[in-house]
């Protein structure tokens, strides 16, 4: 994820913990989460606050993202031979 993503992740965090992210915190999250998928990070924030009362840190996001098994995608073929596209699938029947 990039800086813009980190800002949005921190905005979601602040919904739970009322933090007011400043440039330093945004830069830290951007660096620590550079290799983390944005959507998975957003999901990890909600997951963290379903189980924890302490403030989330980048390590929590990384741990939750890596612990979650990859979602199993089942194709749903449309009449034109393409998959309905859920989960980012771009496959088509040949
Ligand atoms: Zn598919």
pLDDT digits (tens, 9 = 90+) for 59-72: 999 999 988 666 67
The CA 81 to ligand 1 mean position distance, Å, reads 11
Q: Where are the domains of the chain?
A: 1-94
- Give residue 44 CA to ligand 1 midpoint distance, Å: 24
The token pair that represents 39 in the structure block: 């959507």
Q: What does each C-alpha distance from 12 to 15, 39, 58 come to in angstroms? A: 5, 12, 13
pTM score: 0.71
The runs of H, that is alpha helices, within 1-94 are 3-17, 23-32, 38-51, 58-67
pLDDT tens figures, 22-45 = 999 999 999 999 999 999 999 999
The pLDDT, as a whole number, for residue 81 is: 87
CA of 40 to the centre of ligand 1 (A): 19
Separation of CA 61 and ligand 1 centre (Å): 27
pLDDT above 70 coverage of the chain, percent: 95
Q: Quick check: 56 and 49 in contact, CB under 8 A?
A: yes
Average pLDDT of span 69-90: 80
């Amino acid at each position: 994820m990039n800086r813009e993503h980190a800002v949005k992740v921190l905005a979601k965090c602040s919904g739970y913990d009322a933090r007011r992210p400043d440039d330093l915190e945004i830069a830290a999250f951007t660096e620590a989460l550079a290799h983390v998928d944005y959507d998975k990070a957003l999901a990890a924030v909600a997951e963290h606050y379903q189980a924890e009362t302490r403030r989330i840190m980048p390590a929590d996001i990384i741990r939750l993202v890596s612990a979650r098994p990859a979602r199993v995608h089942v194709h749903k073929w449309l009449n034109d031979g393409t998959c309905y596209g859920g989960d980012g699938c771009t496959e088509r029947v040949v």
